[in-house]
Structure 1
Amino acid sequence: MVQPILLLGDPRLYENSSPVSQEDLPNLRRTVEDLHDTLMAFREKYHAGRAIAAPQIGVPKRLIYMYIDRPVVFLNPTLEFPDPERMELLDDCMSFPGLLVKVERYRRCTVRCRDLDWRECRFTFEDDLSELIQHEYDHLDGILATMRAVDKRSLFFKPASR
């Protein structure tokens, strides 16, 4: 079911999420369905959106849902950065549609996590997918892209589409 996305300023977006336990798995399947439905509805409305973190729909668990060419669920992800190379880019967020934030992120990252079958997983991402997973991971720690702005002049409105 499509859930409301918490918007910039909602105090729940700034909270740390709790780890997922194996006992949580039966209840999380519904959350994953809600994340999928919410992401697809956002895509239909805004023509954007590749991933969403559970805290964005008010579920304070360490869960990220990504859908690029297939669904991927990250439970209790941890990030590692294999090298110091960084990139600067304009970041957007479902919690503040229409706003872009200039941030700096690592160009490459490795994610270690569990899946919905509680198997350990490892993924390596570069460039835009590395930025994406870092952005969603920040949501799990109550950090928004606005808090990572490179300076005080790093907020921009997206031009309205006609």
Structure 2
Amino acid sequence: MKHLADLLLLGDSRLYETCELVLESELPLVPDWVADLHNVMEEIRAKYQFGRGIAAPQLGIMKRLIYLNVDRPQVIINPELVSVSDETDELWDDCMSFPNLLVRVRRHRNLTLTYRDEHWQLQTWNVTDWSISELIQHEYDHLNGVLCTMRAINEQSFRWRPTQY
């Protein structure tokens, strides 16, 4: 079982790599990967009071896998952004791989995502909830080796998270 100490931190070269597709033959490995992602996310929540999603490469699992836990646990395998809205908005983004830093970024308001679920069923998700849309874009970026630091609006788009722990 992976723990917080296994989380890759800003500067680790693996965070900048593009992940490989999860193969259908690897589906039996997914429950263990998801358990690790869930465990680390719960440790982040306990220590830093944030965390709604985590991407597999943040634990060195270089596969296209995202785990969300907003209202319920959700496994997203091999996601593809089919479309994004022209309308964007700005937010202070955070990341488990650098939990004390906030980065001002611009994300699309809405999106359509196709992916495989934990049963390998193809799903299409039209996301119109802004908080979910920006979260999916953040995690999707991780699968492509893109960190929110690379999407900063400008050089003044960085600040320390207020101390709350």
Q: CA deviation at 1:83?
A: 2.6
Runs of 4+ in 1 over 6 A off after TM superposition: none
1:50 is aligned, of 49, 52, 58, to 52
**What residue is the counterpart of 2:132 in the other structure?**
129
Residues 81 and 106 in structure 1, CA contact (< 8 A), matched pair in contact too: no
**What residue is the counterpart of 2:145 in the other structure?**
142
**What residue is the counterpart of 1:90 in the other structure?**
92
Residues 102 and 158 in structure 2, CA contact (< 8 A), matched pair in contact too: yes
**What residue is the counterpart of 1:155 in the other structure?**
158
**What residue is the counterpart of 1:63 in the other structure?**
65
Residues 54 and 60 in structure 1, CA contact (< 8 A), matched pair in contact too: yes
Deviates more, 1:136-145 or 1:117-126: 117-126
Q: CA deviation at 1:69?
A: 1.6
Q: CA deviation at 1:80?
A: 2.9
Residues 2 and 41 in structure 1, CA contact (< 8 A), matched pair in contact too: no
Deviates more, 1:31-40 or 1:48-57: 31-40
**What residue is the counterpart of 2:2 in the other structure?**
2
Residues 15 and 141 in structure 1, CA contact (< 8 A), matched pair in contact too: yes
1:74-85 to structure 2, matched below 5 A, reads 74-85=76-87
Tell me the distance in 1 between the aligned counterparts of 2:83 and 2:159: 28
Unaligned runs of 5+ in 1: none
Aligned residues: CA RMSD? 1.1
Unaligned runs of 5+ in 2: none
What SS is found at the alignment partner of 1:81?
strand
1:30 is aligned, of 18, 32, 38, to 32
Tell me the distance in 2 between the aligned counterparts of 1:148 and 1:69: 27
- The residue type paired with residue 2 of structure 1 is K
Deviates more, 1:91-100 or 1:152-161: 152-161
Aligned length: 162
